[in-house]
Amino acid sequence: MTISLRQSLFQLLFFGVFITALLIMANVWTITSKAALDQVSKNIDVANTVLEQLMAERSNQLLNSARVLTDDFGFKQAVATGDIPTIQSVLENHSQRIDADFMAILDLSGQVIESQPAIFAKDTAFPFPEIVRSVLENGGADDALIVNDGLYQVIMLPIYAPNPIAIAGIGFLNGDAFLRDVKSIIQADIIVSLHSQSSSNPVVLHSSLPRYKAERVIAANQQTLNWFDVTFFRSAPYLIRQIALPDTISKEVTITLAVDVSNHFDNFSALQFSILVISLMAIAGSLLVSMFMAHRVSKPVASLVDAANQLANGNYDKSFRTHGKLREINALSVAFVRMKDSIQQRQESILTQSRQDLLTGLYNRGYMETLIEQQLNSGKKLQVIGINIRDFRTINDLYGYSNGDACIVTIAERIKEWSGTAARLSGGELVWFANEPLTQEQIESFHASLELPVITNQVVMSVKIIFTIINCPEDATSTQDLLRKMNILLDEGEQGAAWCLYFNNDVEQRYLRRLNIITELKKVLQTQQDELSLVYQPKVDLHNGKVNGLEALIRWNSKTLGFVPPDEFICIAEQAGFIEKVTDWVFSQVIRDVLFLKGNNISLQPAINLSMQDIQNRPLLEKLIQLLHENSLSTRDITLEITESDLVADANLAIDNLTFLRNKGFSIAIDDFGTGYSSLAYLKHLPVTDIKIDKSFVLNLSADSEDQQIVHTILSLSNIFDLKVVAEGVEDAQTMNILTEWGCDTAQGYFITRPLPLSELVEWLDRTEYF
Ligand code: C2E
Ligand code: CA
Ligand code: CA
């Protein structure tokens, strides 16, 4: 079980004072009580002594007066002669002189001769024969007598003439009046009581106290007292001491000294009471002080505890500052404040780090998602612009990662100049939005500001930026949806040349189709399948009108997607990076078909279409050569067609590999000439043997004078560079004629025949006039 600090402080303070007060009180109480008791018993001792002295004094006085009486010659004579009137008169005189209460004359046998006052009847026997005997034996007796319920102190002496002739007795009554006198001397009450055989209670004979009180004191018989009795039994506040009577008959008589202790104790009681009051006040005071102290300590501690709990819950607003007077508590609160500050700082820096993209200092993907979510939830119109560095991978490949990083950092710095919220999602993908959608002009100047060349210490890089723009809530209502659609736009953007793409459903449909094609085609290439096939389109030598070659063209009849045009899936496979697999398939298929044709005595070289990626793939090219070798074919049994594209990761590698192929003996044609980037002047540096005029210039050649001009120029220049020219897309006789007339080397097109499956090709060759 635990108790609160406040309780514990309170207990400590309060019980400390309480126990101390209690101890002091008890101590004072017992000491004072004991002192009081001591004083009382001393008093009673004194009273006792004084009483004894008084009695002795009285006894002396009695003895003296008895001697005077017994030595009186006249008296002796009167006794000896039995002269009663003289005896009476002497006794009377004497008694008056010494104020005796009792005088008597006995004869030696104990018969009363005279008694004044007449408490003993004349001529009767004295009722205390032991005294008579003692007087005769010892020459006198000092004793106390109970007569008629009165206690007399008596002295009895023999009267000598010269032999004893009689006994004289003289006594004082120790009555109430006497006792009261004594009391004023000894400061104690005196009670004379009688224990008779008949009654169990002693009977009070004389007392300085009123009778009823005296009886009570006797009955209480309080011989000792302790402080407890004194304190709590105030009803009988007399301490008594029984003192012995001088002599014999006293067995039944008791003299009790009684001291009224209440007087003594009252002083001490007053002291005790005041100490009690002081103690109680101290306890009450300590109660208040300890409550106050406990409050003063526990309140700031409680508020610190509260603040610490708030801190644990991530609430940093609660103040830890306490402004009490307790130094340690204040120090604790200062330490708490410091702890809070450092936790807060650390948390903030962790938070910032967790939100930041370390390279650019922009937000990272995770935090951007939250921010976009907030914007979307606010219900406002939101235009989110995806900012993508086109072919960022190629930049990394070409210039190295440090330059790639520098490129991103530069773009990020440029973005920061536009007020808005920006984040880097990954690689060269960034995202930006502002409070208000940008206008078309703003978008254009934003884009232009980002596309400035990036200059580092080592290189100057020209960058192309693709903007992918999602307008919310029309295009997307959730962050995930938004980012997904932005991805789709980017994918689309990377296929084409457009720099700014807006989302619409067609884009998404195209994307989904592309995705389907990729998955399906990959699947098809991995399994033994009959979905892919090759068709062959013959080429005709225009100089002699005979077939001089074939072009192998791939076909895909997908079970799930239906017929997919090669233009479409070849392009997708190139972008998705697995064109190598397609080419590989074509290689083996073409080699099989070449062997088949040779077996049928047809010696025609099929042209294989290589994509630019294939040209940069040396192992693939070597594999082709190896395949030819394995099948005892030579590099002259097939030809190659390549289409130049605008972005070649490594142009030198491409040229090296083309040279390698050329040196191995392959004929190489540049495909789709006229559409791309290759000029004839440039081709001079490429190890190619043929150019294929793109079908777009040929299809309408007979009618289109512009096309005629282009084709004519190409034909004349190729003559200068010593390149053979193939015209593809020849659809009519007129075109064939024009091309023949202008000295074109080879023609290919539907006019001759459409591309044919191998078996149909064989049939066609069998019946055509071109073979
Ligand atoms: P390309 O290499 O320019 O192939 C010639 C295309 O022109 C073929 O289309 C062919 O059918 C078509 N053609 C031939 N004569 C005529 C004509 O008189 N009129 C018209 N309108 N068209 C004609 P296809 O087979 O659809 O191939 C399209 C493109 O797909 C090819 O263009 C080539 O770039 C690519 N391709 C086809 N097969 C392969 C392949 O095995 N590997 C690679 N890398 N690309 C291939
Ligand atoms: Ca071709
Ligand atoms: Ca072509």
The boundaries of every CATH 3.30.450.20 domain in the chain are 72-173
The boundaries of every CATH 1.10.8.500 domain in the chain are 296-353
Contacts of 480 (CB under 8 A, 6+ apart): 369
C-beta 694 within 6 A of ligand 1: no
Distance CA 43, CA 259 (A): 8
Q: Are 770 and 547 in contact (CB under 8 A)?
A: yes
Q: Are 337 and 365 in contact (CB under 8 A)?
A: no
C-beta 732 within 6 A of ligand 1: no
Kindly report the length of the chain: 771
- Among all bound ligands, the one having the nearest atom to the CA of 693 is 3
Instruction: Average the pLDDT over each of 244-253, 385-394, 515-524, 686-695 and give the range with the smallest value.
Output: 244-253
Looking at every residue in the chain, the average pLDDT score rounds to 88
Longest dimension (CA), the chain: 220
The boundaries of every CATH 3.30.70.270 domain in the chain are 363-503
- Residues lining ion ligand 2 (Cβ < 5 A) are 609, 641, 671
Q: Are 307 and 319 in contact (CB under 8 A)?
A: yes
Q: Are 573 and 586 in contact (CB under 8 A)?
A: no
Q: Are 384 and 376 in contact (CB under 8 A)?
A: no
- The values of phi and psi at residue 463, to 5°, are -115, 145
- In percent, the amount of the chain with pLDDT more than 90 equals 46
The boundaries of every CATH 3.20.20.450 domain in the chain are 522-767
| 296-353 homologous superfamily | HAMP domain in histidine kinase (1.10.8.500)
Q: At what angle do helices 401-416 and 392-399 cross, to 10 degrees?
A: 130
Residue pLDDT, tens place only, 431-487: 999 999 999 999 999 999 999 999 988 899 999 999 999 999 999 999 999 999 999
Tokens, residue 142: 């000092």
User: At the topology level of CATH, where does 522-767 sit?
Assistant: TIM Barrel (3.20.20)
* Residue 612 CA, ligand 3 centroid: distance in Å: 14
Residue pLDDT, tens place only, 694-713: 999 999 999 999 999 999 99
C-beta 674 within 6 A of ligand 1: no
pLDDT at position 647, please?
46
Averaged pLDDT for residues 371-385: 94
- Residue nearest (by alpha carbon) to ligand 1 atom 25: 553
Query: Residue 187, by phi and psi: left (phi above 0), alpha (psi -120 to 50) or beta?
Result: left
Q: Name the pairing type of β-strands 500-502 and 465-472.
A: parallel
Contacts of 682 (CB under 8 A, 6+ apart): none
C-beta 586 within 6 A of ligand 1: yes
Residue 63 has pLDDT above 90, yes or no: no
Instruction: Average the pLDDT over each of 165-174, 240-249, 365-374, 451-460 and give the range with the smallest value.
Output: 240-249
Averaged pLDDT for residues 639-661: 82
Averaged pLDDT for residues 102-110: 87
Tokens, residue 436: 């208000």
- Exposure string of 23-32, with b = 16+ CB inside 10 Å and e = fewer, is eebeebbeeb
C-beta 429 within 6 A of ligand 1: no
Q: Are 125 and 110 in contact (CB under 8 A)?
A: yes
Residue 107 has pLDDT above 90, yes or no: no
Residue 235 has pLDDT above 60, yes or no: no
Distance CA 638, CA 667 (A): 8
Distance CA 523, CA 265 (A): 118
Q: Which among 652, 651, 665 has a CA at the least distance from the CA of 621?
A: 665
Assign 101 a pLDDT band (cuts: 50, 70, 90): confident
Q: Where are the alpha helices (DSSP H) in 358-425?
A: 365-378, 392-399, 401-416
- Among all bound ligands, the one having the nearest atom to the CA of 553 is 1
Residue 195 has pLDDT above 80, yes or no: no
Per CATH, the number for 363-503 is 3.30.70.270
- In percent, the amount of the chain with pLDDT more than 70 equals 95
Instruction: Among 537, 553, 580, say which to mutate for ligand 1: greatest number of ligand atoms within 8 Å of CB.
Output: 553
C-beta 755 within 6 A of ligand 1: yes
Name the E strands within 681-759.
Answer: 690-693, 724-728, 746-748, 756-757
Does domain 72-173 match CATH 3.30.450.20?
Answer: yes
pLDDT at position 548, please?
96
Q: Are 385 and 428 in contact (CB under 8 A)?
A: no
Is 149 or 488 the better-scoring residue by pLDDT? 488
- Residue nearest (by alpha carbon) to ligand 1 atom 19: 729
Q: How far apart are the first and last CA of the chain?
A: 109
